[in-house]
Amino acid sequence: MSNRRSVEGANKIEGSVLDELGLDRQTALELKLKAALHQRILRLVKRRGSRARDLERILRIQHVREKR
């Protein structure tokens, strides 16, 4: 049994949310490609068990950390 609750009067969206936003085709396509790439990167990071420090080294970037 799902813990999700349906909201009365909510619109059900079929397909991609990006299609429902009313964006022009080029912008929607770019966002879909970026989202797909992001998902593939996340799966790869998870599969490899990479940590934030590992990704900083690989990407040659430094993440700003808050002082505790």
The whole-chain average pLDDT of the chain stands at 81
CA distance 8 to 48: 42
Give residue 2's pLDDT: 47
Residue 25 predicted with pLDDT over 70: yes
Q: pLDDT band at residue 1, thresholds of 50, 70 and 90? A: very low
Q: Which of 14-18, 25-29, 62-66 has the highest mean pLDDT?
A: 25-29
Q: pLDDT band at residue 11, thresholds of 50, 70 and 90? A: low
CA distance 51 to 63: 12
Burial class (CB in 10 A: 0-12, 13-18, 19+), 67: exposed
